[in-house]
Amino acid sequence: MPDETALDRLNLAEAAEAERELLACCASRRWADELLARRPYPDLARLRGVSETVIGELSWDDILQALAAHPRIGERAAGAGREAAWSRAEQAGAGAATIETQEDLVVGNVAYEERFGYVFLICATGLSAEAMLFALRERLGNDPDSEREVVRVELNKIVDLRLGKAFGS
């Protein structure tokens, strides 16, 4: 057999081990359980497609469970785990911000959490701190239902990137 890939290992792993791997990509247990139940995956594209479908079907409580694993924009994720390292890399643009922009992100995060009741989520990969701050301020004007849909889209982008990191060739 050719070299075993990370996707092969996911397909063949015991449920508990596979769940740990998946939860590093998205902290929603329902999402992970659904992806586990649909194994095996012939390729990364199929895994990503199933993930997108499942994220679209998650209840809001499931989404909140996923959000709980994400630090605020501009805050450095703690820990040595893979998920924390990914988060730090994804938010690299926030680290280069001016002190004023960092302070504005803190104020914006608080306003967002007061308005919506959960952490501001954005797929920060490749974005500057200023772009993240602009999006945060813009999204503060969303109504709660519209914002929930934006959050679902942003979560899907983040999970898709992480699936590629974890299970890509």
DSSP assignments along 101-138, one per residue: HHHHHHHHHHHHHHHHSS------TT--HHHHHHHHHH
2, pLDDT greater than 60: no
Dihedral of alpha carbons 117, 123, 124, 127, sign: negative
- Banded pLDDT at 98 (limits 50, 70, 90): confident
Both structure tokens of 141:
């004007």
Summarize the confidence of residues 12-21 as an average pLDDT. Answer: 96
Please write the tens of the pLDDT for every residue from 124-143: 988 998 999 999 999 999 99
pTM of the model as a whole: 0.89
- Banded pLDDT at 82 (limits 50, 70, 90): low
* Residue ranges of domains in the chain: 6-167
Compute the distance between CA of residue 109 and CA of residue 121 in angstroms, rounded to an integer.
10
Which numeric CATH code is attached to 6-167? Answer: 1.10.3330.10
